[in-house]
């Protein structure tokens, strides 16, 4: 076994941030298996694409032969599994891809990781880790006065995306319980930061606000999420990989609960400050639109376990993280501009019932 780690979905938002951070700090080789769906963008990794420690394989985590070959050829000491269909609204429009990738794909990875792991010597076997990156959405929705989710909150997924992630978590758990595969599960809250695909609330609002387009807010805008800067999430994953106990799950949250309206208004104000090319506040662009079916009202994620047992806690204050994020989108329009064409426009029209232009 080598020191290489195998990342799945490393060309997406969180995976690419993780690879950039990992190569900069750990200096160890990375293999990135990514299908490059609409959400995957090789440009995210331009900075390291010619680094000898980085190897990219374009392919599907559901492909049995490919996953088998990659494990045999690269002999990784860990698998960090990010690859997923990740957008709730798309899961409502078309759930099938979510079952294929999130459930069947995770099963395929687990099965081949198990076969690979069984052939390792004892020392390598005890060092190997399979880390599955999951979400707080598996816990369902909280009422206003309820305490935050903890690692023991019963699963109660409410949409096809969260149901598919819950199913994959259960599979991972079962591979530890039944076969002793050294698995770890992390359940994280809403991420934001550079390289997030502009279908999600924060980058959608920044890019629409920058272009003077309407800012869709679902329902009454009083749904609440717990927001975490993506670099904090990546650091937490590295911590869990290094020190987490096999078989355990760890919540990763920012202790930073906000309503959607608070987020959208804060973005409007930042864009107003940074781009002086418009008269009047961008808050005037806020438009209440039809609510998401089955919309979860509130997420709040207790992260005491990871702080107490592994010493991790979020470092980036929300105001700073949001400021950095809005600045990044202002300075990288050549990244998100081209994305907002073709397939994205079709999706936008289907989702919002109006054209983007």
Name the minimum Å distance from CB 207 to ligand NAD.
15
Q: Which candidate in 60, 85, 136, 226 is catalytic?
A: 136
- Does 88 interact with ligand DAU (rule: CB under 6 A)? yes
Give which of 5, 9, 58 is closest to 28, Cα–Cα: 5
- Does 298 interact with ligand DAU (rule: CB under 6 A)? no
- Does 325 interact with ligand DAU (rule: CB under 6 A)? no
Name the minimum Å distance from CB 34 to ligand DAU.
16
By DSSP bridging, strand 224-229 and strand 257-259 are antiparallel
What is the rounded CA–CA span in Å between residue 134 and residue 6? 17
Q: What are phi and psi of 145, to 5 degrees?
A: -95, 0
For ligand NAD, give the closer residue by CB, 11 or 207: 11
Residue 164 binds which one of ligand NAD, ligand DAU, none, with CB within 5 to 8 A depending on kind? none
Choose the stretch contacting ligand DAU; rule: CB under 6 A; options: 42-50, 112-120, 199-207, 317-325.
199-207
Q: Distance between alpha carbon 11 and the CA centroid of its chain, in Å?
A: 11
299 included as an active-site residue:
no
Cα-Cα-Cα-Cα torsion 93, 98, 99, 104, nearest 10 degrees, comes to: 160
Contact residue for ligand DAU among 37, 135, 158, 303 (CB under 6 A): 135
What is the rounded CA–CA span in Å between residue 294 and residue 148? 20
Residues in contact with ligand DAU, shown as a per-residue x/- string from 19 to 58 under the rule CB under 6 A: ----------------------------------------
Q: Distance between alpha carbon 49 and the CA centroid of its chain, in Å?
A: 21
Reading the block at residue 179, the tokens are: 């076969």
Reading the block at residue 201, the tokens are: 């609330």
What is the rounded CA–CA span in Å between residue 146 and residue 148? 7
- Contact residues for ligand NAD, defined by CB under 6 A: 8-9, 11-15, 33-37, 39-40, 60-62, 82-86, 101, 105, 133, 135, 165, 188, 190-191, 197
Choose the stretch contacting ligand DAU; rule: CB under 6 A; options: 33-41, 72-80, 82-90, 146-154.
82-90
Give which of 351, 224, 202, 228 is closest to 290, Cα–Cα: 351
What is the rounded CA–CA span in Å between residue 251 and residue 152? 10
What is the rounded CA–CA span in Å between residue 53 and residue 73? 15
195 included as an active-site residue:
no
- Does 200 interact with ligand DAU (rule: CB under 6 A)? yes
For ligand DAU, give the closer residue by CB, 172 or 204: 204
Residue nearest to ligand NAD (CB): 12
Find the angle CA(140)-CA(146)-CA(152) to the nearest 5 degrees.
Answer: 55
What is the rounded CA–CA span in Å between residue 18 and residue 80? 10
Residue 107 binds which one of ligand DAU, ligand NAD, none, with CB within 5 to 8 A depending on kind? none
Q: Which candidate in 85, 137, 257, 265 is catalytic?
A: 137
- Does 196 interact with ligand DAU (rule: CB under 6 A)? no
Instruction: Give the distance between the most distant pair of CA atoms in the chain.
Output: 67
For ligand DAU, give the closer residue by CB, 115 or 343: 343
Q: 12: which DSSP letter? A: S
161 included as an active-site residue:
yes
Q: 103: which DSSP letter? A: I
- Does 153 interact with ligand DAU (rule: CB under 6 A)? no
Which residues are designated catalytic?
136-137, 161
For ligand DAU, the binding residues (CB under 6 A) are 86-88, 135-137, 189-190, 200-201, 204, 216-218, 223, 225, 260, 292, 299
């Amino acid at each position: 076994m080598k020191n290489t780690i195998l990342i799945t979905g490393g060309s997406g938002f969180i995976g690419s941030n993780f690879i950039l951070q990992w190569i900069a700090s750990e200096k160890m080789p990375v293999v990135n298996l990514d299908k490059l769906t609409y959400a995957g963008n090789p440009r995210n990794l331009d900075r390291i694409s010619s680094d000898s420690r980085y190897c990219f394989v374009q392919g599907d985590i559901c492909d049995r032969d490919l996953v088998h070959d990659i494990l045999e050829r690269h002999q990784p000491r860990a698998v960090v599994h990010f690859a997923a269909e990740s957008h709730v609204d798309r899961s409502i429009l078309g759930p099938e891809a979510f079952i294929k990738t999130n459930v069947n794909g995770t099963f395929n990875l687990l099965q081949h990781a198990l076969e690979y792991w069984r052939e390792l010597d004892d020392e390598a076997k005890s060092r190997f880790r399979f880390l599955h990156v999951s979400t707080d959405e598996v816990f369902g929705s909280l009422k206003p006065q309820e305490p935050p989710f903890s690692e023991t909150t019963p699963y109660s997924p409410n949409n096809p995306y969260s149901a598919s992630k819950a199913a994959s978590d259960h599979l991972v758990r079962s591979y530890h319980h039944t076969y002793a595969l050294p698995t770890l599960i992390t359940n994280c809250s809403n991420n934001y930061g550079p390289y997030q695909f502009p279908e999600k609330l924060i980058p959608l609002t920044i890019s629409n606000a920058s272009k003077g387009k309407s800012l869709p807010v679902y329902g009454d805008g009083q749904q609440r999420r717990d927001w975490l800067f993506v670099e904090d999430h990546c650091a937490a994953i590295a911590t869990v990989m290094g020190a987490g106990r096999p078989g355990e799950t760890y919540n990763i949250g920012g202790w930073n609960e906000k309503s959607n309206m608070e987020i959208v208004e804060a973005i409007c104000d930042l864009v107003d400050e940074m781009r002086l090319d418009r008269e009047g506040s961008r808050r005037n662009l806020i438009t209440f639109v039809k609510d998401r079916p089955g919309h979860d009202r509130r997420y709040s994620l207790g992260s005491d376990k990871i702080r107490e047992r592994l010493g991790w806690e979020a470092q980036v204050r929300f105001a700073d993280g949001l400021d950095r994020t809005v600045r990044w989108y202002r300075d990288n329009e050549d990244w998100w501009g081209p994305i907002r064409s073709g397939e994205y426009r079709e999706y936008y029209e289907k989702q919002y019932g109006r054209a983007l232009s």
